[in-house]
Amino acid sequence: MESVLGGRDTLVILPTGGGKSLCYQVPALVLDGLTIVLSPLISLMKDQVDALDAKGIPATFINSSLTSSQISDRLGKAQRGEVKLLYVAPERFDFGNAAERIAAMGVSLLAIDEAHCISEWGHDFRPSYRRVRDIRQKLGSPPTLALTATATPEVRRDISRVLGLHNPEVVLTGFDRPNLRWHVVRTKNDSEKDGTLVEILGRHDGVAIVYAATRKTVDRVAQMLSRSGIRAEAYHAGLDDQRRREVQDSFMSEQVRVIVATNAFGMGIDKRNVRLVIHHAMPGSLEAYYQEAGRAGRDGDSADCYLLHAFQDRFTHEFFIKAACPDREVITAVYYAACNRSDKHGSLALDTAGLAAAAKGKVSDREAESALRVLTAAGAVSVSEGSRSRARVRVLATPERIRAELGTEESFELGVLRALWKSTRGAIAEGAIVDLDELPPGLTGPGGAADVLDALQDRQFVMWSRVGEGLIVADRKAPIERWPVDWDTLERRRRAEESQLGVMQKYAYTDHCRRGFVLRYFGDPAATNRCEQCDNCLALKHEATSSAALSPRSRGKPARVRGEKKSKSAPELDDLTADERTLLDGLRSLRTTISKRDGVPAYVVFPDRTLREMARSRPLTAGALADVHGVGPAKMEKYGEDFLSALRGD
């Protein structure tokens, strides 16, 4: 905070739950102008803004979940000085005049959360974060604060370089999370992973996050846990926005005990009482693993992190690395396939799958997609949105189906189909080029017609595309050597990701202190050769259990762990009497009711630590309640009477 208030560029590396947000929230209240916070996930923005609102701090966010009028209204408040912190996704600056409009408000601080996304060496390579330096310049080059929980020395140097930080103050407090216990269970296959997962969840109390590598595995594991009597929900990017919100809200309010997720859930979670984080498969890097496992125990109480590891986990990541960083031969093959299959104007009708099939050699769809990104960056190909009015349309549905499902009464859908049929004299039955501008009045013009065609295509009534839409090859006769493809960077990134994968596997197989292994990797001087927080140092010998060996009666019973005493996964209850625990349950129930009523996460009302202190000290007056840790003036005003009534037994 001293560095930020002194106007210096600052790079902060703090462990998960270590107070990174305070590093810009407090200075934002002191500085005169607006603080812009670049944040990667919509859910994370909302959680932080909800928490600030609960404290009476003026903050808001703009992202794709809002309408244009809502965004305009929030920017207007910021311009009038009614907002001190404005959370923005980096993609917001990719279009329009957002940067110029915000710069005119007077930006006193730019804070970049999850800054590891900036680095090409980081575990979440994100193109929009690579453009943050340009965003910073457009905002007037304000003092900049970059924050992350996991960054090796190399990543830290890369963050500073890409952002263009000027002689930054580097604040590194350490990576150690002494309240976390680290375990690895070696398994042979998914059956053993499933059985072991069920038994671990049966042996520990409290809410849990289970990470899986693919969407398909997430869905399967969530269903398996539900069949085993464990309340679980799946969360991944394949779900629509509404469903993801429902799942997250259910988890935050503890209506479900376990959320099974891809890393899409990683940075969006801000639940402090997670007692277990279990990785169903090995992540691709130790950075990713530590970041995700660090979602456990953010309240400071003991929590456990398990990795269910099978040697073949490595193959999945090798496939992803090969697809994300295709070698020179693959990119060359895709380029010449695009040149050969494009028309004389360079227009390419093939989709990614077709282009992969046309390329010489064995090229996967993922590799073709990555190769096209590389070629686009080099200027060899470009993406055209096509004509605004001219479109290729082909009717797929039979007249009988159209009559049966669209009826005979006039509607936009039926009106557009009839007009297109008439203008082409029925040629759209086989496919024809049409001019949307020539549709009769009342059919909403080219923009509206496109929306209708999209809806009809979703229902498989038609196939359509804009003329000229798709990939354009810049010069189909040019050799690939003409284009400035950065082969060295591609190779460097591939080697870096392969190296990170190797480190992750060494962690899984080490017989030495796991905590020390992690801390040494991040260059933390607190690393030691022995701890009392990992299975190796505690001499625990975890044994996997096949799901086939789990009878319905045995599911949820303790797993076989040699040398382990039963884990107390809720140590915060050890010093409470039976009456105090009953009161704590009532306070938690009240918190859940209020969080649902106000539409905020439960911890925004009060964290578990505050509820435990209430149960222990049982304050009966406003003055006594105000002395409880975590009860500030804003929360006292909002929630004080509700909790005092519960404490008094009213």
Output the pLDDT for position 565. 47
Buried (b) or exposed (e) across 380-397, using 16+ Cβ within 10 A?
bbeeeebbebbbbbebeb
Q: Is residue 51 part of a domain?
A: yes
Mean pLDDT of 531-537: 91
Give the residue numbers spanning the domain of 367.
317-374+477-485
C-beta separation of 599 from 593 below 8 A: no
pTM, entire model: 0.69
Query: What single-letter DSSP state applies at residue 567?
Result: P
Sign of the CA dihedral with 20 first, then 23, 24, and 29 last:
positive
Q: In angstroms, what CA-CA distances link 325 with 100, 320, 504, 607? A: 35, 8, 19, 43
Output the pLDDT for position 276. 95
Q: Is residue 380 part of a domain?
A: no
The answer on 67 and 16 residing in a single domain is yes
Mean pLDDT of 418-444: 79
What are the residues whose beta carbons fall under 8 Å from the beta carbon of 552, sequence distance 6 or more? none
Mean pLDDT of 432-458: 72
C-beta separation of 294 from 194 below 8 A: no
Q: How far apart, in Å, do the first and last CA atoms of the chain sit?
A: 44
The answer on 133 and 209 residing in a single domain is no
The answer on 148 and 7 residing in a single domain is yes
| The pLDDT of residue 611 is above 80 | yes
Sign of the CA dihedral with 490 first, then 495, 498, and 499 last:
negative
Write the Ramachandran bin of 444: left for phi over 0, alpha for psi from -120 to 50, otherwise beta: left
The answer on 123 and 12 residing in a single domain is yes
Q: Which of 193-207, 341-355, 411-425, 453-467 has the highest mean pLDDT?
A: 193-207
Neighbours of 426 (CB within 10 A): 11
- pLDDT one-digit tens code per residue, 308-324: 999 999 998 898 888 88
Report d(CA 592, CA 643) in Å as an integer: 12
The answer on 233 and 352 residing in a single domain is no
Structural domains in the chain (count): 5
Q: Is residue 472 part of a domain?
A: no
Write the Ramachandran bin of 354: left for phi over 0, alpha for psi from -120 to 50, otherwise beta: alpha
What CATH number does residue 184 fall under? 3.40.50.300
Report the share of the chain in percent with pLDDT over 90: 33
Output the pLDDT for position 35. 94
Q: pLDDT-based confidence at 560, cuts 50/70/90?
A: very low
Q: Is residue 383 part of a domain?
A: no
The answer on 154 and 9 residing in a single domain is yes
What are the residues whose beta carbons fall under 8 Å from the beta carbon of 91, sequence distance 6 or more? 64, 128
* Last residue in a domain, options 172, 202, 234: 172
Output the pLDDT for position 201. 94
C-beta separation of 450 from 390 below 8 A: no
Q: pLDDT-based confidence at 567, cuts 50/70/90?
A: very low
Output the pLDDT for position 554. 45
Q: Find how far residue 540's CA is from the centre of its chain.
A: 33
- pLDDT one-digit tens code per residue, 230-283: 999 999 878 877 888 788 888 888 889 999 998 767 555 668 889 999 999 999
| The pLDDT of residue 209 is above 70 | yes
Q: Find how far residue 72's CA is from the centre of its chain.
A: 26
Rounded CA Rg of the chain: 28
Mean pLDDT of 521-545: 88
Q: Is residue 497 part of a domain?
A: no
Mean pLDDT of 19-32: 90
Q: Tell me, letter by letter, the H, E, C secondary structure of 298-323.
A: CCCCCEEEEEEECCCHHHHHHHHHHH
| The pLDDT of residue 187 is above 50 | yes
Output the pLDDT for position 334. 94
- pLDDT one-digit tens code per residue, 487-528: 998 898 899 889 999 999 999 999 999 999 999 998 888 888
The answer on 557 and 580 residing in a single domain is no
The answer on 528 and 424 residing in a single domain is no
Report d(CA 414, CA 418) in Å as an integer: 6
C-beta separation of 269 from 611 below 8 A: no
* Last residue in a domain, options 104, 138, 172: 172
| The pLDDT of residue 556 is above 60 | no
* Last residue in a domain, options 518, 538, 568: 568
The answer on 102 and 31 residing in a single domain is yes
Q: pLDDT-based confidence at 352, cuts 50/70/90?
A: confident
- pLDDT one-digit tens code per residue, 593-604: 888 888 777 777
C-beta separation of 372 from 356 below 8 A: no
- pLDDT one-digit tens code per residue, 131-183: 788 888 888 889 999 998 877 788 888 889 888 888 899 888 878 888 999 99
Q: Is residue 351 part of a domain?
A: yes
Which stretch of 232-246, 289-303, 330-344, 506-520 has the lowest confidence by average pLDDT?
232-246
Output the pLDDT for position 266. 57
Output the pLDDT for position 267. 57
The answer on 163 and 23 residing in a single domain is yes
Output the pLDDT for position 446. 47
The answer on 55 and 161 residing in a single domain is yes
The answer on 224 and 142 residing in a single domain is no
Report d(CA 429, CA 434) in Å as an integer: 12
Write the Ramachandran bin of 278: left for phi over 0, alpha for psi from -120 to 50, otherwise beta: beta
Q: Is residue 329 part of a domain?
A: yes
CA 414, 415, 417, 423: dihedral to nearest 10 degrees?
A: 160
What are the residues whose beta carbons fall under 8 Å from the beta carbon of 182, sequence distance 6 or more? 293, 305, 514, 515, 518, 533, 534, 535
Q: Is residue 107 part of a domain?
A: yes
Output the pLDDT for position 571. 42
- pLDDT one-digit tens code per residue, 112-125: 988 887 776 554 55
